[in-house]
Amino acid sequence: SFKENIAYGLVQKPTMEDITAAAVESGAHGFISVLPQGYDTEVGETGGQLSGGQRQRVALARALIRKPCVLILDDATSALDINSQSCVEQLLYKSPERCSRSVLLITQRLSLVKQAHHILFLEGGTITEAGTHQQLMANKGRYCTMVQAPGGSGAPE
């Protein structure tokens, strides 16, 4: 079930309130809550009937319920539509919990990092630029070029 999936691996059994809070924060609550059985809906071992974006939001809820001090997101938005991506942006930059954790965000979507406190731009596995979005744009380097490219996502063609 969604409830078991989000709580998976926890030593202490979480409350339903904890599970729901993690799902709300990850953007998964919206699609879970409208199902006839809600959080008790069976999803199977691989979540085959879920979209890629739904699976990512449930996985994010599973990470968030642990209240980590450091949250590592590796292409966490790759399968998300624009609305779901905005939920993740809300989590990263606007949620009250953001002050209690550090987030390492690995992404090809440069639009996600514009508000980050510090950006490390990698090419070929090497850090080639570092700074805030404003600093990197002022440097007119590769980061700036990719942000200004059509689409501005920075994802390689």
**Is the distance from CB of 65 to CB of 10 less than 8 angstroms?**
yes
Enclosing domain of residue 43: 2-104
75 and 116 fall within a common domain: no
14 and 84 fall within a common domain: yes
How much is the pLDDT for 156? 45
CATH number of the domain where residue 71 is located: 3.40.50.300
Question: pLDDT category, 53, cuts 50, 70, 90?
Answer: confident
> Model confidence over 83-106: pLDDT tens digits?
667 777 776 777 666 667 788 888
**Is the distance from CB of 23 to CB of 29 less than 8 angstroms?**
yes
129 and 81 fall within a common domain: no
Question: pLDDT category, 33, cuts 50, 70, 90?
Answer: very high
80 and 157 fall within a common domain: no
Residue 114 sits at the vertex; the CA angle it makes with 140 and 105, to the nearest 5 degrees, is 115
| Number of domains, the chain | 2
134 and 90 fall within a common domain: no
**Is the distance from CB of 98 to CB of 110 less than 8 angstroms?**
no
